[in-house]
Structure 1
């Protein structure tokens, strides 16, 4: 079995999209995308086709790995934005060869930290990633509700000042950190919005979210991507409630979702559950330090 690789940038974009869809056949979730949405995903997530790989077995396309790269606070970060193998080639050890070649690519690009997510019950994938040095650092929850959200105006005693803005404005806050959850980072949320919570002059917390609308302009959904509290705050529940009051807009009728919320953020997760959001899917967040010499 001869395994070779080519940069995805050497293939026509339609061929890359087709390889993506074929590689994700019979997957745990529906991952297939029409060409226009596939192109949109590549652009929105900052995926680098020139540094992503098509895998060939004896000359036949067998799978792919897609990568994105960012820099934050002087460190180069990489995200595995999709690794998959066509059904006919699964169970042959190809996945490990792909991951080993991908880590070599990261070294060539000077990556210092590599991040990825895997569906929690995809034990094969998790074991594969652990075998090449990734470690689980958290769980990520995808939650949602179609039901109305209760008004929270009277659920916190403190009086906070609220500032609304675009997602990028959250980066001004002294405790903003890009973090390991790629799709919750500001570069992935250019059309996102933010709410910052202030206690007097001090920033107490922030949330980043996105609203979706119908062609007629009606609000159809609100998606929360992250909600962070300033270090050492003793009133975290109150700050979270104040932020969610602005994010959820309880008077509006729409679907509300929380995407890839870290399970370690227990106060937030408990409050979201109290508000009626149920967990639809769970992922594991995995990180590998590259230890470049």
Structure 2
């Protein structure tokens, strides 16, 4: 088996898009998309085609790996934004070979932490990632709400003031953490908004979300990405409820989703379930760090 890798930047973008779709054919989740959506994904997820890979076996396209890179607090971190192998090349050990080659690329780039997400029921993929050094560090919940059960009395908002703003404003909050759950991180949230919760003059919580509108300008959907109270707050639940009341707009009729909520944020998960959110899909968040 003759294996060759090319950087995606060496290929026409139509070839890259076609390789993505062909590699994901028949996967657990249909990740195929038209060229326009693929280009939007490259932009939104800050995917680096110069440091992403096309894999060829015996001269034929066989698989793809898309990577993102970011500098954070003086170190380079990375995210594997999609790895897939075409149907004709599966079950032959190519996945591990591709992952090891990609981790060698990370080492060349001096990556200190690398993340990826995998569907929690995709045991073969998780075993593959663990075999090359990744470990599960959290679960990510995707939740939907058919009927919101959140009103003034239960929101806890009377004790707080809530200020709406642009998503980038939360980067100044000392307890905002960046670079872990990439698709829920400010640099990846185009046109997103935030709410900041105050107890008097003290900033005590925040939320990140995005609203979508139909062609008549009517609110169609709200997606929650993050919601957090300041560490050590005994009233954390009330702070979160105050933020959620401002974000979810209970008096409006629209679709509501919570995307990639970390399961370790138990207070937030409990409140979301309490007000009507149920799980629709779960991913595992995995971390790789080079040996020192």
* TM category, shorter: over 0.9
Q: How does 1:248-263 map to 2 (within 5 A)?
A: 248-263=248-263
Q: Distance in 2 between matches of 1:202 and 1:173?
A: 11
Q: How far is the alpha carbon of 1:177 from its aligned partner?
A: 1.0
Q: Distance in 2 between matches of 1:103 and 1:212?
A: 37
Classify the secondary structure of the residue corresponding to 2:111: coil
> TM-score by structure 1 length?
0.97
Note if 1:238 corresponds to 2:234.
Answer: no
Compare 148-157 and 78-87 and name the one that shifted more.
Answer: 148-157
1:232-278, CA deviations, whole angstroms, 9 ceiling, x for partnerless residues?
Answer: 11111101100000110001100000000001111111111111111
Q: Distance in 2 between matches of 1:101 and 1:202?
A: 48
Q: Distance in 1 between matches of 2:152 and 2:112?
A: 42
Q: How does 1:9-158 map to 2 (within 5 A)?
A: 9-156=9-156
Q: How far is the alpha carbon of 1:57 from its aligned partner?
A: 0.6
> TM-score by structure 2 length?
0.97
RMSD of the alignment, in Å? 1.3
Question: Contact 2:70–2:77 at 8 Å: present in 1 too?
Answer: yes
Q: How far is the alpha carbon of 1:51 from its aligned partner?
A: 0.2
Q: How far is the alpha carbon of 1:158 from its aligned partner?
A: 5.9
Query: Taking structure 1 as reference, are residues 148 and 231 closer, same or farther at Cα in structure 2, changes over 3 Å only?
Result: closer
Q: Distance in 1 between matches of 2:188 and 2:220?
A: 20
Q: Distance in 2 between matches of 1:170 and 1:48?
A: 25
Q: Distance in 1 between matches of 2:126 and 2:279?
A: 20
Q: Distance in 1 between matches of 2:93 and 2:268?
A: 40
Q: Distance in 2 between matches of 1:71 and 1:208?
A: 22
Query: Taking structure 1 as reference, are residues 217 and 93 closer, same or farther at Cα in structure 2, changes over 3 Å only?
Result: same
Q: Unaligned 5+ residue runs, structure 2?
A: none
Q: Distance in 2 between matches of 1:161 and 1:148?
A: 22
Q: Distance in 1 between matches of 2:159 and 2:267?
A: 20
Q: How far is the alpha carbon of 1:146 from its aligned partner?
A: 3.1
Q: Unaligned 5+ residue runs, structure 1?
A: none
Question: Contact 1:135–1:288 at 8 Å: present in 2 too?
Answer: yes
Question: Contact 2:157–2:241 at 8 Å: present in 1 too?
Answer: no
